[in-house]
Amino acid sequence: MAAGTDHLAGLYGDAAAGALALAAHACRAGHVSAPVWDLNFVSALGRGPDRFVLEVCRHSHAARVAVSGPSGIGKSLLLQTISGLVRADRGYVRLSGETLQDTAQDIWRPPQQRRVGYMFQNYALFPHLTVAQNVAFGTRQGWLNPRRGELDRQVTTWLDRLELSRVAGLYPHQISGGQAQRTALARTLMASPRALLLDEPFAALDPSLRLALGAELLSVLDELSLPILLVTHDPAEAERLMDEVWALGT
């Protein structure tokens, strides 16, 4: 056994020491992939008695992760910290080996540099823009509203793919909840994100639509091979749609 592993042998025995040495060598050689989700941070909101503190330490190779827990436990704050909408007070956020924030190393990448898609619970569609314009907004670097006649091929592709072509000229108040969800998803995917954060995407839908739209969502995302973090209150939904479940507060 190499001299460098003698101290491991003393602690764990020869076989275990050898295994640990091989694992360390593989990691150094790049044979062990970094976790998809590598999170160790503290984020705080508010002051005084209303101050809320979220502590997260999660490391997972699962591409699809559901986050569950009671209301007020910090599920949305978790997504906001990963996306960069909230800056962690200390710790780090890493995605597939890339550091997005690390307070110890003074690393901070703003949201627009992270390429992390975030679909809000209320979809956050612009009421004064049509479905097509809302989708096109996903590629805009600023607040210039896309004109009705300026839709590019990528917009048309997503409208077709998510079965929104028939309602492309309608406004958010004129479409169904399922169509609003698909519009928000198309807008998010227009930016070609490297990962997708979904904040209770089915919460506003009737139970009869949840199963169908959940299957439809996964069908689209399967083709894109995107890591997904899904917030949900529904344990059955979490188990059905995702590979791993994180229960916050436990």
pLDDT tens track for 75-84: 999 999 999 9
Residues 52-61 as b/e (b if ≥16 CB within 10 A, e otherwise) read: eebebebebe
28 pLDDT tier (thresholds 50, 70, 90) = very low
C-alpha 34/C-alpha 30 separation (Å) is 9
C-alpha 231/C-alpha 228 separation (Å) is 10
Residue 47: HSE in the Cβ half-sphere, 13 Å Cα cutoff? 0
Average pLDDT over residues 162-184: 92
- Percent of the chain exceeding pLDDT 70 equals 82
> What average pLDDT does the structure give for the chain?
82
In the predicted structure, residue 137 carries a pLDDT above the cut 60: yes
pTM assigned to the model: 0.79
Average pLDDT over residues 137-156: 64
Q: State which H helix or E strand residue 98 sits in.
A: strand 98-102
**Helix-then-strand count for the chain, H and E:** 9, 10
In the predicted structure, residue 16 carries a pLDDT above the cut 70: no
Whole-number pLDDT of residue 213:
76
φ and ψ of 117, to 5 deg: -75, 135
pLDDT tens track for 81-94: 999 999 999 999 99
In the predicted structure, residue 26 carries a pLDDT above the cut 50: no
Q: 202 exposed, middle or buried (CB, 10 Å; 0-12, 13-18, 19+)?
A: buried
Residue 189: HSE in the Cβ half-sphere, 13 Å Cα cutoff? 23
In the predicted structure, residue 1 carries a pLDDT above the cut 90: no
Residue 133: HSE in the Cβ half-sphere, 13 Å Cα cutoff? 17
Q: What domains are defined for the chain? A: 37-247 (3.40.50.300)
Rg of the chain over all Cα atoms, to the nearest angstrom: 21
The contacts of residue 236 (CB under 8 Å, 6+ apart) are none
Whole-number pLDDT of residue 150:
55
φ and ψ of 198, to 5 deg: -120, 115
In the predicted structure, residue 42 carries a pLDDT above the cut 70: yes
Whole-number pLDDT of residue 145:
54
